[in-house]
Amino acid sequence: MFAHVVYTADATVGSRYITMQLIDGSSNVVGDWHTSAAITAGQAGYHIEFLPGTYRETAFDANHTIQTPFASGLIVPSGYTLKIFDGAAISAMDSMVVSVEYVSWPTR
C-alpha cells in the first residue's frame, strides 16, 4: 500500500500535521501515522507520502515533499477504513487530493 496526499492550506493560522489512521469495522483506531513536520497557513502543493518501511523525514524538502513511514507488509483487512486528515483540525477550508494504491494478494 502507498498513499499520496497533495495538501493546500488556507489562510487560517495554525500548524497542520497530516495523519493517516487505520480504522476497524467497529470504528476503533488500530493504526495511526502522522507527519513529523507541519504545513502552515497559506501553503499550497505540499506532498505527503505514506510509504512502507521508509525512513521518517523530519522536514519538507525543497519540493515540499515529506515521507511518513508505516510498517512494511501492512495489510488492510476487508471492512477496515483508511482516514487521512489534518490531525490538528485547523480549517475546514483546507483542501487535499488523496491517492491510494493498494495491491491485493491472492489467497490460497
Residue 12 inside a domain? The answer is yes
pLDDT at 105: 63
Q: Which three cell numbers stand for residue 3?
A: 498513499
Greater confidence, 106 or 69? 69
For the chain, how many structural domains are there in total?
Answer: 1
Per-residue model confidence as pLDDT tens digits over 13-34: 999 999 999 999 999 999 999 9
Q: Count other C-beta atoms under 10 Å from residue 81's C-beta.
A: 11
Residue 106 inside a domain? The answer is no
Residue 107 inside a domain? The answer is no
Q: Count other C-beta atoms under 10 Å from residue 60's C-beta.
A: 17
pLDDT at 76: 86
pLDDT at 108: 62
Residue 23 inside a domain? The answer is yes
pLDDT at 104: 65
pLDDT at 72: 84
Give the 3-state secondary structure of residue 89: coil
65-72: average pLDDT = 91
In the numeric block, the cell 524538502 is attached to 61
Residue 16 inside a domain? The answer is yes
Mean confidence (pLDDT) of the chain: 92
* Residue 68 lies in domain: 2-101
Residue 64 inside a domain? The answer is yes
